[in-house]
């Protein structure tokens, strides 16, 4: 009974010859012209012996051997290699899993060689495990073949070690070559890939994309680019298809790039860019980046494009920041370049409407590897409101300080005046109380002296009167201290003095809702006067006015007007009180005259005012209509003549 034999050779003559020989020997023979066809047959055919041509297009004999050896149902098959290059390339056929090897030579010897193989394939022959290449001694070495083989070896090494996956598939899309990188990419061993449909290494959308591409017009360059990669075994890959023309129709070489890492890196960079963009866009303040040369804007957030006129114009003209010079000022950029460091500047921008805007400009350098400033980041804060607030704070602080200073001066004046006043009050009170008993004693003593009394008693009474005089003198000198504490003339600023004095009463005036209006002359000269006495005048007039308005709940104002006159100043004090009764108007400067409740008025206030003005050689008059308030008009000369040379005081 003959054996089942498969012969694979791309040479039809050889194929036919061997088939005839074997069939004559009573064997069942099937033939295949290439590896792919062979693999097809082997799916359903289990031969005892397989003849494999070593040099074949598509799948080479070498590979076919390895595939066959990996097929479990072909474990026992006797594998014979037909090598046309046995003389040029030393072949360890056993390493390929082959059992025998025939060196192809002349056709006439072939029958003998096949017969020898059949011998070896017999159970007895298999024991022999012959290492001989049958017919090797009958062929000669061809130099050209050796060179070609050598160069093929180089290409094989290159292909084996390339990081790109290389496939080659036949027109029917069966894989006929896959390098190790391709096998690794797909995750399937080379042996199993060979003969498989190329497109089936893809799934889902990637499969569709590849099929669509391969079904498309053949002329266009077939390519799956990095920009739109397909998935292969979970990796993102780009594909390049290269047609290879050959006799049996064009096969195709596919170069596969694994772009996963790159894509992931790109994705990461994209993500970071989006994050940074979001960050920059989220800033409510203008943020932009300029080149260090020429200060062209290379990046600007929308706030910058909205708020900065120059950038707004650029983006309106469509040239998104392109060749758009940064908005002024350039000083921060210059500084950053010069210092190679960040800088902070304030910049006042004059708006079209004349409004001033104050910006706080932060500029930061971006360096290249050599430490040169290549770009500059600018960030602007509108600090106009902050500046205003600071200024307001500053101003109010100044005003407060001034008020405090005034208050302190006023307080000192008040303390001094109060001290003097209390000493005066005490002294005159004490004097009064001492002088009265002294008066009684003295009077009695004088009365006694009128009697007829002994000389010794008269002498005693004289002594009593001397002592009474002595006590009187001391008491009077104490009292006169309070009255004549000196008349100190200096140059007085009437406005400042009034302000100081009014400050003393400010608390009381506020309590009574009295406002003080000042209409001060710009050119009022300083005058010669005793500051303390003049302050007393103001104090008395203001407190009189306040008392006069105590019953009027609505409009409570004290109006102070000053004006410069020929030889002096005029000061007018008006109030909005009830005015002065016509009966009383002639008496208001009289001592002890008062319209106030008992205990409130001394009746001396206006009399003191009158006296002081008189001492300053000035005049005072009063104008009033009942119900329309009162006005005191004071004239004070700029220069004081000798005190006794004063003109008589106006009395109206």
- CB closer to another protein out of 369 and 600: 600
**What b/e string do you get for 561-578 counting C-beta neighbours within 10 Å, with b at 16 or more?**
bbeeeeebbbbebbbbbb
DSSP 170: -
Task: Compute the least distance from the CB of residue 569 to another protein, in Å.
Answer: 25
Task: Let me know the angle formed at the C-alpha of 147 by 144 and 182, rounded to the nearest 5 degrees.
Answer: 130
Binding site for another protein (CB under 8 A): 428, 431-432, 435-436, 438-444, 446-447, 450, 468, 472, 476, 479-480, 483-484, 590-592, 603, 607, 611
By C-beta, is 370 or 452 nearer to another protein?
452
Residue with tokens 């074949």: 56
Alpha helix positions (H), 241-383 = 260-282, 302-307, 309-316, 331-339
Would you say 352 or 452 has its CB closer to another protein? 452
**C-beta of 611: minimal distance to another protein in Å?**
6
Closest approach, Cβ 429 to another protein, in A, equals 10
Please, what's the b/e burial string for 43-82 (b: 16 or more CB within 10 A of its CB; e: otherwise)? eebebebbbbbbbbbbbbbbbbbbbbeeeeebeebbbbbb
Q: Which is nearer to another protein, 11 or 621 (CB)?
A: 621
Instruction: Between 565 and 611, name the residue whose CB sits nearer to another protein.
Output: 611
Least distance (Å) between residue 617 CB and another protein: 15
Report CA torsion sign: 26, 28, 31, 36.
negative
Distance of alpha carbon 546 from its chain centroid, rounded? 59
Q: How far is the CB of 560 from another protein (least distance, A)?
A: 28
* 484 DSSP assignment: -
Q: How far apart (Å, rounded) are the C-alpha atoms in residues 8 and 32? A: 5
Cα–Cα distance measured from residue 243 to residue 34, given in angstroms and rounded to the nearest whole number: 19
Which bin fits 560, alpha (ψ -120 to 50), beta or left (φ > 0)?
A: beta
Query: Got the DSSP string for 201-226?
Result: G--HHHHHHHHHHHHS-SSSPPEE-S
Angstrom distance (rounded) from CA 119 to CA 295: 90
For 188, phi then psi, to 5°, come to -130, 135
Q: How far is the CB of 444 from another protein (least distance, A)?
A: 5
Longest dimension (CA), the chain: 204
Please tell me the distance from the alpha carbon of residue 378 to that of residue 371, in angstroms, as a whole number. 19
Q: How many CB atoms lie within 10 A of CB 514?
A: 23
What is the smallest separation between the CB atom of 388 and another protein, expressed in angstroms? 57
Q: Which lies closer to another protein via its Cβ, residue 361 or residue 468?
A: 468
- In the bound state with another protein, the residue whose beta carbon lies nearer, of 553 and 598, is 598
Q: Which is nearer to another protein, 332 or 442 (CB)?
A: 442
Rounded CA separation 14/54 (Å): 13
Give the span between the Cα atoms of 451 and 443, in whole angstroms.
13
Asked if residues 169 and 198 have their Cβ atoms less than 8 Å apart, the reply is yes
Cα–Cα distance between 398 and 404 in angstroms, integer? 10
CB of 483 to another protein, least distance (A): 6
């Amino acid at each position: 009974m003959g054996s089942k034999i498969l012969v694979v050779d791309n040479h039809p003559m050889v194929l036919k010859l061997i088939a005839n020989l074997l069939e004559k020997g009573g064997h069942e023979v099937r033939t295949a012209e290439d590896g792919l066809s062979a693999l097809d047959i082997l799916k359903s055919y289990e031969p005892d012996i397989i003849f494999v041509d070593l040099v074949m297009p598509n799948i080479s004999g070498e590979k076919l051997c390895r595939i066959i050896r990996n097929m479990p149902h072909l474990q026992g098959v006797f594998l014979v290699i037909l090598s046309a290059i046995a003389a040029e390339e030393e072949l360890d056929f056993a390493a390929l899993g082959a059992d025998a090897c025939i060196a192809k030579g002349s056709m006439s010897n072939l029958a003998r060689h096949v017969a020898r193989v059949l011998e070896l394939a017999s159970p007895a022959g298999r024991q022999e495990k012959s290492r001989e290449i049958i017919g090797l001694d009958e062929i000669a070495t061809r130099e050209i073949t050796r060179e070609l083989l050598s160069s093929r070896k180089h290409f094989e090494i290159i292909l084996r070690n390339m990081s790109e996956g290389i496939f080659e598939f036949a027109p029917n899309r069966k894989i006929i070559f896959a390098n190790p990188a391709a096998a690794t990419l797909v995750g399937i061993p080379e042996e199993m890939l060979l003969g498989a449909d190329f497109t089936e290494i893809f799934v889902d959308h990637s499969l569709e994309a590849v099929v669509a591409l391969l079904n498309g017009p053949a002329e266009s360059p077939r390519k799956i680019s990095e920009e739109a990669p397909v998935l292969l075994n979970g990796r993102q890959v780009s594909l390049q298809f290269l047609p290879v023309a050959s006799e049996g129709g064009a096969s195709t070489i596919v170069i596969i790039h694994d772009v996963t890492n790159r894509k992931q890196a790109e994705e990461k960079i994209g993500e970071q860019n989006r994050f940074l963009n979001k960050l920059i866009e989220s800033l409510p303040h203008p943020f932009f980046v300029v080149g260090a040369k020429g200060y062209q804007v290379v990046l600007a957030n929308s706030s910058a494009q909205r708020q900065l006129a120059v950038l707004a114009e650029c983006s309106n003209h469509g040239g998104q920041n392109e060749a758009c010079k940064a908005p002024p000022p350039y000083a921060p950029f210059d500084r950053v370049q010069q210092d190679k460091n960040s800088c902070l500047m304030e910049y006042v921008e004059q708006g079209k409407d004349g409004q001033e805007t104050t910006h706080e400009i932060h500029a930061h350098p971006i360096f290249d590897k050599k430490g040169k400033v290549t770009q500059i980041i600018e960030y602007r804060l509108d600090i106009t409101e902050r500046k205003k607030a600071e200024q307001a704070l500053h101003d109010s602080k100044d005003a407060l300080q001034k008020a405090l200073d005034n208050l302190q001066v006023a307080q000192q004046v008040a303390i001094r005046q109060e001290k003097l006043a209390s000493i005066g009050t005490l002294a005159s009170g004490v004097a009064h109380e001492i002088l009265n008993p002294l008066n009684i004693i003295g009077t009695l003593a004088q009365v006694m002296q009128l009697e007829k009394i002994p000389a010794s008693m008269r002498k005693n009474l004289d002594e009593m009167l001397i002592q009474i005089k002595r006590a009187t003198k001391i008491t009077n000198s104490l009292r006169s201290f309070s009255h004549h504490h000196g008349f100190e003339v200096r140059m007085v600023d009437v406005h400042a003095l009034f302000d100081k004095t009014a400050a003393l009463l400010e608390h009381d005036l506020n309590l009574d809702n009295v406002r003080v209006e000042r209409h001060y002359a710009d050119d009022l000269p300083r005058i010669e006067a005793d500051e303390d006495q003049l302050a007393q005048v103001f104090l008395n007039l203001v407190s009189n006015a306040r008392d006069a308005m105590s019953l009027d709940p609505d409009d409570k104002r004290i109006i102070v007007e000053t004006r410069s006159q020929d030889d002096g100043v005029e000061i007018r004090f008006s109030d909005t009180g009830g005015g002065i009764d016509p009966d009383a108007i002639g008496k208001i400067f009289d001592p002890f005259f008062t319209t106030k409740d008992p205990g409130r008025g001394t009746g001396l206030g206006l009399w003191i005012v009158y006296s002081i003005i008189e001492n300053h050689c000035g005049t005072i008059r009063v104008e009033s209509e009942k119900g329309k308030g009162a006005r005191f008009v004071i004239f004070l000369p700029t220069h004081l003549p000798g005190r006794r040379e004063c003109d008589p005081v106006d009395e109206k």
